[in-house]
Amino acid sequence: MQAEFHADSQAVARAAAEFIAAEARRCIAERGRFNIAVSGGDTPRMMLRALADTSVPWAGVHVFQVDERVAPSGSPARNLTQLHESLLAHLRLRAGQVHAMPVEQADLSAAARSYEAVLCANAGTPPVLDLVHLGLGVDGHTASLVPGDPSLEVLDAEVTSAGPYQGLRRMTLTFPAIDRARRVLWVITGESKAAMLKRLQAGDRTIPAGRVRQDRAMLIADRAAGLRAEDSRLAPAFR
């Protein structure tokens, strides 16, 4: 896993936005298209807002979700609401460029299969996303792949239902869908994540995040999240 550490969350957001923009430009130049799946969270909100101001050939970008909470349309609990406020409201993307997880359907298992079909229609069978953006929970979860949840063992599907977690059921990409991506971008901030970040960098497979393949991964984190990376092999170079 490549890694770079920055002074604070704002610097992380800017660096992550520039990384995504560079990947988008490269993929569109090579294949005419950039398929990105994004997660929710506070730092991603800043990252997405910064991304909206970068130079990207947006006509070739297709936006997918890594995971989503089961909540009504427009709810502040929805990652899609954050995605619209931070990124989509500032761009002119066609409706067909934004692919929301259908969590308002009554049958979540059928909804997960329908989203898998959307992924395959846009990114091949099996789908290969160009970039998957991930965060890290204080319990070691990533996406909505939470410790102890049956979704951790779903290896024969690209999308699955999960939860409940923190009071809400979820839909999430599975490990196979994430691991097949051309690049994985970890964006992690805050001292509360420091212990789990060290375990992630060490490849600790006892936490869900540690099960994501690392050879295609880029980590962008802040000084606070890297505070406990005392091991000389993992010690961050702060910017």
227 vs 74 pLDDT, higher one: 74
19 vs 92 pLDDT, higher one: 19
HSE value, Cβ hemisphere, 13 Å, CA-based, for 64:
31
Q: Under DSSP, is residue 43 helix (H, G, I), strand (E, B) or coil?
A: helix
Provide, rounded to the nearest whole percent, the portion of the chain with pLDDT above 90.
90
40 vs 28 pLDDT, higher one: 28
- Residue 203: is its pLDDT beyond 70? yes
The one-letter amino acid at 67: D
| Domains assigned to the chain | 9-190+202-216 (3.40.50.1360)
Residue 75 binned pLDDT confidence (cut-offs 50, 70, 90): very high
Residue 228 binned pLDDT confidence (cut-offs 50, 70, 90): low
Q: Under DSSP, is residue 82 helix (H, G, I), strand (E, B) or coil?
A: helix
Average confidence (pLDDT) over 175-186: 98
> Phi, psi (5° rounding) for residue 185?
-115, 115
- Residue 67: is its pLDDT beyond 90? yes
Q: How much is the pLDDT for 41?
A: 80
DSSP string of 141-209, one letter each residue: -BTTB-TT-GGGG--S-SEEEEEEETTEEEEEE-HHHHHTSSEEEEEE-SGGGHHHHHHHHTT-TTSGG
Tokens 């569109």 found at = 28
Residue 58 CA to residue 92 CA, distance in Å, equals 8
Containing H/E element for 76?
Answer: none
Q: What is the pTM of this model?
A: 0.93
pLDDT digits (tens, 9 = 90+) for 130-147: 999 999 999 999 999 999
Nearest Cα to Cα of residue 139 among 79, 199, 84: 199
Nearest Cα to Cα of residue 208 among 116, 134, 157, 101: 134
Q: How much is the pLDDT for 234?
A: 41
For 216, residues 6+ apart whose C-beta sits below 8 A from its C-beta are 181, 182, 183, 184
Helices (H), the chain: 9-31, 42-52, 79-86, 108-123, 175-179, 194-201
Q: How much is the pLDDT for 227?
A: 75
Q: How much is the pLDDT for 232?
A: 32
Report whether 163 contacts 191 (CB < 8 A).
no
- Residue 185: is its pLDDT beyond 90? yes
